[in-house]
């Protein structure tokens, strides 16, 4: 079982940027925590961060046939990128969207996510802990998919 975590623009600045909104944790620390939980659950996990829209789309496309699930924080592209939405939509694997801040109580332009409607669900407003919640949610979704597939296989026999 493999999960890929994709981080959008400026998230490499976590721990430095607007700590009152995004907290003090660095991206590497968030990833280290996720890696621990993934290991405990026998899941392989990969991390990717980019400030470029096209690189995020390339990484999403690489997940096809390779990853079982994705956690993505598209950051500012959440509110603007039809291209990232289309890339998520083209994949037939569960995707969980994360936002560190509660985008629904911020500026109006942040209150719309173009990407959330093509994701399994969205977690917004729980700080860096949201990534942990996303991982738990995604593992649950993947376990359900596995159980359904096993049942289908058994019915064939």
Task: Please name every residue paired with 3 in a beta bridge, in sequence order, or none if there are none.
Answer: 45, 69
Q: Kindly tell me which residue out of 7, 49, 50, 78 binds ligand DQA, with binding defined by CB under 6 A.
A: 78
Residues in contact with 5: Cβ distance below 8 Å, sequence separation at least 6, in sequence order:
31, 34, 45, 46, 47, 48, 70, 71, 72, 131
Does 73 participate in binding ligand DQA (rule CB under 6 A)?
yes
**Known catalytic membership, residue 104:** no
Cβ closest to ligand DQA, residue 68 vs residue 87? 87
Q: What does DSSP assign to residue 16?
A: T
Q: Interaction with ligand DQA in 7-46: which residues (CB under 6 A)?
A: 10
**Burial of 16: CB neighbours in 10 Å, binned 0-12, 13-18, 19+:** exposed
Q: Which is nearer to ligand DQA, 1 or 126 (CB)?
A: 126
**Residues lying near ligand DQA in the complex (CB under 6 A):** 10, 73, 75-76, 78, 99-101, 103, 110
**Residues forming the active site:** 22, 99
């Amino acid at each position: 079982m493999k999960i890929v975590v994709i981080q959008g623009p400026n998230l490499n600045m976590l721990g430095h940027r607007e700590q009152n909104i995004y907290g003090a944790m660095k991206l590497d620390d968030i990833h280290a925590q996720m890696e621990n939980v993934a290991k405990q659950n026998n899941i392989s996990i990969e991390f990717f961060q980019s400030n470029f829209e096209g690189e995020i789309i390339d990484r999403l496309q690489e997940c096809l046939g390779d990853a079982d699930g994705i956690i993505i924080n598209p950051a500012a592209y959440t509110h603007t990128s039809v291209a990232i939405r289309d890339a998520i939509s083209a994949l037939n694997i569960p995707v969980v969207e994360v936002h560190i801040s509660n985008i629904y109580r911020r500026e109006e332009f942040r209150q719309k996510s173009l990407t959330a409607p093509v994701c399994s669900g969205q977690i917004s407003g729980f700080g860096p802990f949201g990534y942990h919640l996303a991982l738990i949610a995604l593992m649950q979704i993947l376990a359900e998919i596995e159980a359904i597939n096993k049942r289908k296989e058994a019915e064939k026999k």
